[in-house]
Structure 1
Amino acid sequence: MEINFLVLLVAATSTLVVGFIWYNPKVFGSIWMRESGMTEEKMKGTNMALIFGMSIFYALLISLVLQMLTIHQWGAVSMVGGDPSIAKPSYDAFMTDYGTNFRTFKHGAFHGLLTGIFMAIPIIGTTALYERRSWKYVLISGGYWVVSFMLMGGIICAWS
């Protein structure tokens, strides 16, 4: 299996689209600003190109991992050390039988949902405990990542 970096970049960029909607003041933006201690004054003078660029870079790293979590066939590739050319005939038989199974947007979104619930929310929740953030903050930030992971997982699983 080849890594399709274009698909991963599209999935990574989707996090910005979700963020523009999610953190809009008419959705959760005003509540998030209050709960995170962010103000309009703090936001002024920031290098938004750098922030958006680094956000896409970090989301690209996440998409590399989500690819392995959403596409089951990567497990078969890892079983042969990442090099299918040295695999036994059973690998080829497996990939012939199951090579495109569960490669849908819905399946990827489901794995994105699980990853968001069981990875993103606990990470954000733990950090929030030490930073003395509210549960509203955890739910807004965690909810953003759950939705983002669902969209990313769906894109990756369906288009890779």
Structure 2
Amino acid sequence: MNIDLGSIPYLSIILSALAICIFGSIWYSPKVFWNTWLKLKGLNEDKLPSVGKVMSGSILMAIVNSFLLAIIAGWVNIEGLIDGLWLGLVVGLVIAGTSATNAMYEGMKLKLYMITAGFHVISMIIAGIIIGCFA
């Protein structure tokens, strides 16, 4: 398989990375899962790394994940919203499944795993839809 970097829809990568960041800020907001996530992790806000460090890393990973998803979309000839949705779902479930093994070894509570895995699945679906619309 060849990677034709010229055929990658870079605008879709930027938009999907932005969408992942916006979705993450909602998913992990205090009104949704932030407080539950903190409690299940046994953390308080004083022990967390700086917001700038975490956000810059999150933005970088959203870009990398979107770029890799766009490469996969090109390999499997994704065309349109529905194809993108299915691609995002499959990739999200692969991420969640792989994370499940780690969660079991770490003794992670099911609720914490579901919050984390749910974010990955839904964010990949969102990114897949956006990338699919540009294919």
Q: TM-score, normalised by structure 1?
A: 0.72
Match of 2:134 in 1: 159
Q: Are the aligned partners of 1:105 and 1:158 in contact in 2 as well (CA < 8 Å)?
A: yes
Q: Report the secondary structure of 1:133's partner residue.
A: coil
User: For residue 63 of structure 2, what is the amino acid of its counterpart?
Assistant: L
For 1:57 and 1:40, the matched residues in 2 are separated by 23
Instruction: Report the counterpart of residue 116 of structure 1 in structure 2.
Output: 92
Partner of 1:63: 66
**1:70–1:112 Cα contact (<8 Å) kept:** no
**Percent identity over paired residues:** 28
Runs (4+) of structure 1 exceeding 6 A deviation are none
With the length of structure 2 as denominator, give the TM-score of the two structures.
Answer: 0.83
Structure 2 residue matching 1:41: 3-state secondary structure: helix
Q: 1:53 to 1:26 in 2, by over 3 A?
A: same
Are 2:14 and 1:38 aligned? Answer: no
2:113 counterpart letter in structure 1: V
Q: CA RMSD in A?
A: 1.9
Q: Distance in 1 between matches of 2:38 and 2:102?
A: 17
For residues 46-85 of structure 1, the aligned pairs below 5 Å read 46-71=49-74, 74-75=75-76
> How far off its partner does 1:121 sit?
0.9
Q: 5+ residue gaps in structure 2? A: none
Provide the aligned length of Structure 1 versus Structure 2: 130
The AA in structure 2 aligned to 1:112 is G
